[in-house]
Chains A and B, each alone.
Chain A
Amino acid sequence: MALNTEFNLGTESDALFNELLQAHEGLSREQSEQLNAGLILILMNHIGEAGTIREAVVCARAALDA
């Protein structure tokens, strides 16, 4: 499964983005980092394909602000 970089979130994308932010509300920086790490691990396991996950890491790193 190649990484899907086309839009795939239907009508829920704005809601989901907002819910991500809400999930971090009231957390310390450390807790926030742990929440993000946990989310990544859960989603990585759900995807379950090493190639796709590696592509995602490359894609995200390539998009880092200078």
Chain B
Amino acid sequence: MARYQFEPFDYVTPPELSGAGSASAPIIIVGAGPIGLAAAIDLATHGVASIVVDDNNVVSVGSRAICWAKRSLEIFDRLGVGERMLEKGVTWKLGRVYRGDREVYNFDLLPEDGHKFPAFINLQQYYVEQFLVERCADFPDLIDLRFRNRVLSVGQDETGVAAEIETPDGAYMLRGEYLLACDGANSRIRRQFGLDFEGRHFEERFLIADVEMDADFPSERWFWFTPTFHPGQSALLHKQPDNIYRIDLQLGPDADPEEEKKPENVIPRIEKIVGGRPFKLDWVSVYSFNCRRIDRFVHERVIFVGDSAHVVSPFGARGGNGGMHDVDNLCWKLARIVTGSAAPDLLESYNHERVHGADENIRNSSWTSRFMSPEPGIETAFRNAALSLAVDTPFARRVVNAGRLSVPCQLTDSPLNGRDDDVFDVPQKVGMVALDAPLSDRDDNATWLMSQLGGRFVCLVTGEAKAPAELPDGVELVRIGRGGFGDAEGRVQERYGDAVYLIRPDQHVAARWVAPGAADIRAALTRCAATITA
């Protein structure tokens, strides 16, 4: 299998410096990683133009974020790259946890059928970025991608933002209405703004390596506490496309990163894991991690998205997936604000909902980190008690914490939520992302519920519920049953019951009723979308 070929993107002299005049877009996006690129595409699907600047000119070197959760895949699908990612990625849903060489516990992250996307795929970040860059090219009038454009400083006033940008041809100023700081964990903009990045640093060092080998390991996540091949530490193995395996090895707090990265030190460690199979080293890095966030993600017209706003340890796949939640949450709101259909204070709900989401991710990944690297003494005693009990005592298997993997964030307490007539014995609730289900269309072709939702407000009517007589402008009816889509396998009934749902552009349920009138829908819409009425 050929390794990934890194092709640099072309640098083009920006019009501001080539004499071709100046470009104008309401949104400036700093950073062309997965988060910045996804934001540009999401905004473009709403017809909103952006200029994306990045100081680099190549996709991520090294696989970095590899585990993409079901919810992120649903978002990527809305953006037009989900199926491509699914096809290229390694699908998995089973995690196994070992102590020594003995399995103590395994978990199935999606035990039920009837969802378009699996629990997880593994796909190297460079593929995700490449697919997103190619997707951006479908919006030539709305997305202006500028590589080797480095932001030097950002300023703002009541009317807009301005970024000073440096290129190989010199510096220029870019102006817009809002700026998204998608410039990663070491965000230059965050530092320029002097924002405290509060939280905890973990001293523990980890070696991360991608190795290429022919092996028939199953598509599962394997985690070891104190394996015989790496005594006293932990290890993690993930399968990626192109016969690449990701190996994480805990090294302890005193490891010397430069020493550990040397092939003569890495190769013997990996030989012990892969048991004599021939392999090639593709990428190696040594890291320690932080669980931190800034206090507020919205600073007037400068909005922090993804790792620039919050970072977590990698053991729950909550970094890249958390960032995709941010994009999903932000872009429809921003699009409505810049097109004048929503009040600017709708942005405050991005701050509220995503601070809530980041805290959930930080909490979960901090708990995992503490379980994996307990302090000597009583912390180690509790950790080892849980691990040894887990072998024969079922409850303790659930106490063992080798990573709590990213699940959709629940916005149960969001100020955008409207009424919830919670009289149905179904899993769907207000504040949750909509649950997928298989459907059949009028021609009896198979499709998915999630493919009918997103990008605009939808009034979803299920089962025996009656659709309201009229819907406000901008709300589209999606009917399941009674002449609408067919509930192909009965999953809509099982997951939604007979009810009327108002679904946000980010596919979250904003309100639910047994039998609403038009005024009920309008009130919920106004509350959720901060609608400006003429």
Contacts and interface: CB of A to CB of B under 8 A. Distances in A.
Contacts of B377: 33
Contact of B384 (A34, A40, A42, A45): A34
A30 B383 CA distance: 12
B388 A38 contact: yes
A40 B378 CA distance: 12
Interface string B266-277: 000000000000
A30 B381 contact: yes
A21 to B, nearest CB: 18
Given A38-B389, A41-B386, A41-B389, A33 B381 contact: yes
B288 to A, nearest CB: 27
Interface in A22-42: 30, 33-38, 40-42
B388 A34 contact: yes
Contacts of A34: 381, 384-385, 388
B382 A41 contact: yes
B393 interface: yes
A42 B381 contact: no
Contacts of B237: none
Contacts of B384: 34, 37
B195 interface: no
8 contacts: A33-B377, A35-B385, A36-B381, A37-B386, A38-B389, A41-B385, A41-B389, A42-B389
A45 B377 CA distance: 22
| Size category, A interface | 10 to 19
Contacts of B382: 37, 40-41
B395 interface: yes
A32 to B, nearest CB: 9
A42 B388 contact: no
Interface string A28-66: 001001111110111001000000000000000000000
A37 B381 contact: yes
B390 to A, nearest CB: 10
Nearest to A36: B381
Interface in B366-399: 377-378, 381-382, 384-386, 388-389, 393, 395-396, 399
Contacts, number: 32
Contacts of A36: 381
A42 B388 CA distance: 12
A37 B395 contact: no
Nearest to B393: A42
Interface of A: 30, 33-38, 40-42, 45
B415 to A, nearest CB: 27
Nearest to B379: A37
A36 to B, nearest CB: 7
A53 B385 CA distance: 18
Contacts of B385: 34-35, 37-38, 41
B388 A33 contact: no
Nearest to A45: B395
B393 A37 contact: no
Contacts of B393: 42
A18 to B, nearest CB: 22
A23 B378 CA distance: 18
B281 to A, nearest CB: 38
Contacts of B378: 33, 37
B186 to A, nearest CB: 38
Nearest to A46: B395
A39 to B, nearest CB: 8
Please give me the 3 A-B residue pairs with the lowest Cβ-Cβ distance, nearest first: A33-B381, A38-B385, A37-B385
A38 B395 CA distance: 12
Nearest to A35: B385
Contacts of B386: 37, 41
Nearest to B394: A45
Interface in B382-423: 382, 384-386, 388-389, 393, 395-396, 399
A33 B382 CA distance: 8
Contacts of B396: 41, 45
A54 B284 CA distance: 43
A41 to B, nearest CB: 6
A23 B207 CA distance: 41
B324 to A, nearest CB: 31
Contacts of B399: 41, 45
Nearest to B378: A33
Given A33-B381, A37-B382, A41-B385, 20 more contacts: A30-B381, A33-B377, A34-B381, A34-B384, A36-B381, A37-B381, A37-B384, A37-B385, A37-B386, A38-B388, A38-B389, A40-B382, A41-B386, A41-B389, A41-B396, A41-B399, A42-B393, A45-B395, A45-B396, A45-B399
Contacts of A37: 378, 381-382, 384-386
A45 B395 CA distance: 7
Nearest to A48: B395
B375 to A, nearest CB: 12
Nearest to B396: A41
A45 B396 CA distance: 9
